[in-house]
Amino acid sequence: MTDEDILEDDGYLKVETIFSKHLEASHILDFAVVLRRYPEDDDIPGPALAHLKGFLFQPGYLPDDDDDEGYFDVFDERSQHAAIGYRILVNDRNLVAKALKKDADLDELDAVAYLERLWVNPSLRGHGIAHRLLREAQHVLGRPGLLVMMKAHPDDFDQGANQKLAAYYQSEKQLRFRQVSKKHEGWLVAAWQDPTVNKEDESFLDLDVRETPAIDQNE
């Protein structure tokens, strides 16, 4: 892809990853993978057209029944879904281990990346952008011992929507997402122990559609 292909009259689309320190916990990193449009000849981007947000918790162990409140507090302060994710890790550890069995021994994983919010501008959906953001996260976050967890929860919720979205995420084989169990509908886990690179992924996106203004109503 040349500069002429990217820098068109209406600018260009770029995928960026942002890390920031957690305000109260030094072992927590907040992160976001964001798709934005940059106007031509301007370093100030427009609003996010898609984003994947979450946090990386790396204390050197996974939570268990004897854990102190510190680990739970980090999950609980984020959202109800994150708090449920913590309880799955603690109370249904055997189900998580079974789901990951083909890819990793859960006892060898000692860090958690929780992917808490994935949103794509409705006018850009159907172009693989969600998978693109997830692959970028896999590339940037991947490291030995990393357990990744997320809940497939669409904004337009109806019966079976969790499973449908979870199946979509799982359809990108590089991500290696596994469903925890039928008991926990829509919950996915993966072992991202390598900073996997997809040779087809570039920092710039060339889409044949133009977005319409939209914001994430659940931010």
pTM for the predicted model, two decimal places: 0.92
pLDDT confidence of residue 64: 81
Sheet holding 204-205, edge to edge: 178-181, 184-191, 146-151, 111-120, 48-57, 28-38, 12-21, 204-205
pLDDT confidence of residue 24: 81
CA dist 214 and 50 (Å) reads 10
pLDDT confidence of residue 180: 98
CA dist 48 and 42 (Å) reads 16
Q: Are the CB atoms for 64 and 80 separated by under 8 Å?
A: no
Q: Are the CB atoms for 148 and 115 separated by under 8 Å?
A: yes
CA dist 101 and 34 (Å) reads 31
Identify the bridge partners of residue 188 per DSSP, sorted by sequence position: 150, 179
Task: Compute the residue count for the chain.
Answer: 219
Give the start-end residues of each E strand in the chain. Answer: 12-21, 28-38, 48-57, 111-120, 146-151, 178-181, 184-191, 204-205
pLDDT tens series, the chain, 219 aa = 444 444 345 799 999 999 999 888 888 999 999 999 999 888 899 999 999 999 999 888 898 877 666 788 889 999 999 999 999 999 999 999 999 999 999 999 999 999 999 999 999 999 999 999 999 999 999 999 999 999 998 887 677 788 999 999 999 999 999 999 999 999 999 999 999 999 999 999 999 999 999 999 988
